[in-house]
Structure 1
Amino acid sequence: MQDQKNGNGLEWKVLKFEEFTLDELYDLMQLRSQIFVVEQDCVYLDQDGKDKKALHVLGFKGNKICAYARLFNKGDYFDACSIGRVIVAEDERRYAYGHTLMNESIKAIKEHYGEDKIKISAQKYLKKFYESHGFIQKGEEYLEDGIPHIGMLKE
């Protein structure tokens, strides 16, 4: 596990699945369901069996998870390292934690996997956000769980 404070006031942790406390895991699953199922009105199974392989980047304000992403080594999800399930709690979005979350995630991939190449499956409406972090669209738009997505790559 890696803990650190950053200038925006969040405490950042990078955890393996088995390092979660029960409370952290419950709160994370609740946050992911709130955003991906309820807020985005998308019925799908968020617990996809991949969390046990992933590294998890969490931004905490006190005990509250405000930001989250999961990371995969190359070959565990895509042929390159990847970042997914990128979320910021709705009531925390005004603080631009999404940008800090992406920076922390990119840094964690470099530190834990030794890689610079990262592939993502991005919701299309977030294209400019991911471009601001060096990602470039690769391929055509496609639907994933009824939501328009694009493949993006950072090299």
Structure 2
Amino acid sequence: MRVEIKPFSGLNLQELYAVLRLRSEIFVVEQQCIYLDMDGKDTQALHVLGWKGSELCGYCRVFRPGDYFKEASIGRVAVPSQFRGNGYGAQLMEFTIQAIEKEIGDCPIAISAQAYLQRFYEELGFKPEGELYKEDGIPHIRMVLTAQ
């Protein structure tokens, strides 16, 4: 997997289309959740794209501290169904964590994790904080990776 990180203004039209299609495919269609994915925050985010050849096989977005949570944060983590089970999600997250350390500095990283993925994020070092809550009708848990 080839991974790159870009600001919103650095995405070309084909990349932006691939990102929005993937997010819609997973978070709206697959999870049967009707919500507005384009929340107006993409222009503030750094976008992490994982490629297998010309296919987008992983994606997430990153926010600096204070732009979404008080900590740096990662969200919209997505791997298409045909690429799952190959370790791309973990590779994408490891790259993203390292990119945050390089671009932003050694700081805590917060996520709003879907509850069924709690173990996946724990294996990456994230710790749950607080109770489960519903976000767009889906159980989530706040998790934080403390600065090393």
Q: 1:115 aligns with which of 92, 102, 106?
A: 106
- Give the AA of the match of 1:73: R
> 1:32 aligns to what?
23
Give the distance between the partners of 2:30 and 2:87, measured in 1 at CA: 19
Deviations 1:21-80 (A, max 9, x none): 101101110010000000000000000000000001110112211000100000000000
> 2:32 aligns to what?
41
> 1:58 aligns to what?
49
State the TM-score, normalizing by the size of structure 1: 0.92
State the TM-score, normalizing by the size of structure 2: 0.97
Give the distance between the partners of 1:94 and 1:153, measured in 2 at CA: 24
How many percent identity over aligned positions?
A: 52
Does 2:74 correspond to 1:83? yes
Could you list the runs of 5+ residues in structure 2 that have no partner in the other structure? none
> 1:68 aligns to what?
59
Could you list the runs of 5+ residues in structure 1 that have no partner in the other structure? 1-9
Give me the CA root mean square deviation. Answer: 0.7
Q: 1:19 aligns with which of 3, 10, 13?
A: 10
Runs of 4 or more consecutive aligned structure 1 residues displaced over 2 Å after TM superposition: none
Deviation at 1:94, TM superposition (A): 2.1
> 2:131 aligns to what?
140
Task: Give the number of equivalent residue pairs.
Answer: 146
